Amino acid sequence: MAVTKTPVRTPLKALRGMEDILPADQPYWQALQAAAVRVAQLFGYRLMETPVLEMVEVFQRAVGEETDIVSKEMYIFEDRGGRTVALRPEGTAPVVRAYFAGSLDQGPQPARLFYLEPMYRYDRPQAGRYRQLHQFGLEAIGEASPYIDVEVIEVAWHWYELLGLRGISLQINSLGDAVCRPRFREALRQHYRPHLSEMCAECRQRFERNPLRLLDCKKESCEPLQAGAPSSLDFLCEPCSQAFAAVKEGLRTARIPFALNEHLVRGLDYYTRTVFEFWHSSLSGAQNALGAGGRYDGLAEEMGFKPVPGIGFALGLDRTLLVLKAQGSPPVAPEPVQILPAAAEQLRTAVQFARSLRAGGIATQVDYSQRSLKGKMRQATQALVVCLIGPDEEREGTVKVRDMRRSVEESVPRAEAPARVAHILALASRPA
């Protein structure tokens, strides 16, 4: 009798560079995303989403054919209707497209927008480098003031602070604009011209087409040549120079430390003036950037729209998560404020007080149980702030606000308590 053999099936695998996010990591992802929503909304930015698939031209025209993202890393294919489409490799170009398509240019300016989305790049997968990556992106479109540059950097800085991430280094530079950049570009060519024969093939092309990107090359043949290269800052025209001075002054006022990095570039012509990156020492080499951003006053026009200034950033969630884990930071967002009424008689006041905290945007829980106050305290140890309402507080219209990290307690008039609680939470969200 013939035995039918069951065909051996090799178990299916995920695509290279495409990671599953399993339940164990979800608390980290949720904390990263919740913190992003919180800081973005604190500054009045509104969430938006764009499709994962776009016409390939959105990126070719906006990001540029000469960038690695477009020339080597984009997932491109033909759809069933014969259109050439691309999986979104970055968020700025689609958001600018949507800003016009959705008539956001007709609304109040600037449009303050943010997104939390996966991006797709056919990059070489390794630690901290994936083919599906996730970004917290933010764009302010329609305002040229350097104050908005500072604001955008401040949002990112707040996010890292809120996550308790230590050791972030902010690098900034100014690339000038269409008036002053041509002179800088020419100076770069002069610097590199004598070394053309030593340079890699890619850099020889960059020399012709896009010399700013020569400063980006990490190859052994080219990196040493960056040492004596001219600095864009020496070529800034008066308006660009004033704008950059205002950005630096604004950062100082916001107490955000920064390092001037004269070789920080974005190789695309539509990038103007401020560029910045957030680095972390634990990430090495080409992967040391946790996030990056810059002003792109020439982008809308490049995409066929009317000119409009803009600035934004993209912060990588995947790498930020790696650093948070390495730092041993707990994945959870701070516990809600706990309101503990001493007994049932204070419950009504406690519930009313909780409402006043929530009205101020503070996550709050009330302990409704009949446990003793001591028992309630035992349950509340994870909270950053505990508010106690006993018979005395109820009578006097006060509340005992306890800063759990510093073990300090004070009696505060109930009307003033929300501000006091918010202050303690703000202090607690800063890294020690």
Residues forming contacts to ligand AMP in the complex (CB under 6 A) are: 90, 121, 123, 128-130, 133, 135, 289-292, 314, 316, 318-319
Q: Which is nearer to ligand AMP, 8 or 15 (CB)?
A: 15
Q: How far apart are the first and last CA of the chain?
A: 76
Tell me the closest approach of the beta carbon of residue 173 to ligand AMP, in angstroms.
14
Rounded CA gap, 261 and 248, in Å? 13
Query: For residues 288 and 365, which CB has a smaller minimum distance to ligand AMP in the complex?
Result: 288
| Between 66 and 123, CB nearer to ligand AMP | 123
CB of 71 to ligand AMP, least distance (A): 14
Nearer to ligand AMP, 184 or 313 (CB): 313
Closest CB to ligand AMP: residue number: 316
Minimum separation from the CB atom of position 277 to ligand AMP (A): 7
* Inter-residue contact 431 to 324 (CB < 8 Å): no
- Measured from the CB atom, the residue of 241 and 288 that comes closer to ligand AMP is 288
Q: 135 or 272, CB closer to ligand AMP?
A: 135
In this structure, what token pair is assigned to residue 175?
A: 């690339």
- CB 314, min distance to ligand AMP, A: 4
Nearer to ligand AMP, 163 or 417 (CB): 163
Minimum Å gap between C-beta 137 and ligand AMP is 8
- Least Å distance, CB 136 to ligand AMP, is 9
Q: Which of 273, 275, 274, 272 is nearest to 300 (CA)?
A: 272
Q: How far is CA 410 from CA 352, 358, 367, 407, 416, in A?
A: 20, 21, 20, 10, 12
CB 133, min distance to ligand AMP, A: 4
Closest CA to 75 of 66, 65, 64, 85: 85
